[in-house]
Structure 1
Amino acid sequence: MKLLAIDCAANLCAACVYDAGAGIELGRQVLDLGKGHAEHLMAVIEAALKAGGIEYRDLDAVAVSIGPGSFTGLRVGVSTARGLALALKIPGIGVTTLEALAAEAANAFPGRSVLAALDAGRDELHAAFFDEALGLTYGPAVVTPSEATEMAVKASAVLAGTAAPQIAAAAGDSFDVGPIAATADIATYARLAAVKGPGERPKPLYLRAADAKPQAGFILPRQEHDRPVGDAGRKES
């Protein structure tokens, strides 16, 4: 099976082609953008395909990082993956950023449980806990730093993700730490997707609502005719 993997969950705009049968990466393209994934993703995909000597028609599946991560980046990546899967009549496979980071930590520290956590701001973390066999036992969920620290200490877990240093410092203890980035290497997503195989169509994993809200000046006042009809809302004759 030849698989295209896409990641726009964080600062990277990344794609790679992976041969699951041979267990090798055929080609990749990675840009560190921060923003602007929508403008660059198709060019990144085409560069990865060219590097791997692969055409779109040669693909058997499309994998994509589904978050937690950037709201805009996730929408771009997931919608592109679903569009390609539909057009090519092949499966789309979603992989969370937390399980990808945990997989890299488990590779560095085999046989250990892993707590993968991302700093979400507002004194919140996006976290998931994985057992020694990399099975998901908790999350993904929004937790406080103290809750994450308690989980890590109780299980003597390996830490991964952007919140790993914060958790280790709060515990005042030494922890083994895997990747501390906001996302994993693009080939990790490809390998995990190849193991997962087809399932539900990928969709963005949002653990909390978007930060953007309508400005007060653009909120229309409620009109009189919008009031409920009934004893409480009926005008006197």
Structure 2
Amino acid sequence: MTIHARYIKPNMQIIHVNDQEVQFMLSPLEKGFGMPFANLLRRVLLRYTPGIGIIGLSIKGIDNIHPYTKIPGVKEDVAEMLSNLRSILIQRYKGDTLSMCIEKKGPSIILAKDIQHDEHTVIINQEQYVCTLDTEAQVFITIYGNIGYGFVPSSYHGYQKNIMFCDTVYTPIKHVSFYTRTYVTYEEVIFNVQTNGTCLPIDAVKNAFIFLNAKTDLPIIK
């Protein structure tokens, strides 16, 4: 004999939303289910929301590049420059990989808005500092990126003697928090999700539910 239980199907109510933040409520949920489900959704948002990340750079005229390579006429070494480049916020509308370049003569302060890219790429924080060139400096820097999830160490990207790879943080999620309310027969969970502006927070939430659905939509055991 099989007993078919009647489960509660929650609804999603948007409380507040803009380009970088969404607050929503899931209700009703079975008592005792709100906290574990909220923790699961939070982990999916933080770990499996796709984003664009910088994976490395190459500099014309420099082989066997390493983190402490000094570029003639440039104030920063390679490690400092990569640290600045990793702070650039990028939107990518077509393609999974990214190649951009900086071609500049000194004296000059290079910002993110000086980076050359294709029409499918948008840099959000145009004023992000990259490096400073002295009077005689001239550089041609190629910057590489791709789409990924979470955090990836530099060793994952492989090795090429003329490319300096770096650790990459892909996630566009800046913050996820939640709290639960418990009533006599059900619970509700209120979420707050913030992104860095490279993706809409409501899209990140939709992606998280699609991910969970893909993992749980399994054939029923007969």
**TM bracket (short chain):** under 0.3
The structure, 1 or 2, with the larger RCO (C-alpha pairs under 8 Å, 6+ apart) is 2
**Between structures 1 and 2, the one with greater helix share:** 1
**Between structures 1 and 2, the one with greater strand share:** 2
Q: Give the TM-score taking structure 2 as reference length.
A: 0.26
Q: Give the TM-score taking structure 1 as reference length.
A: 0.25
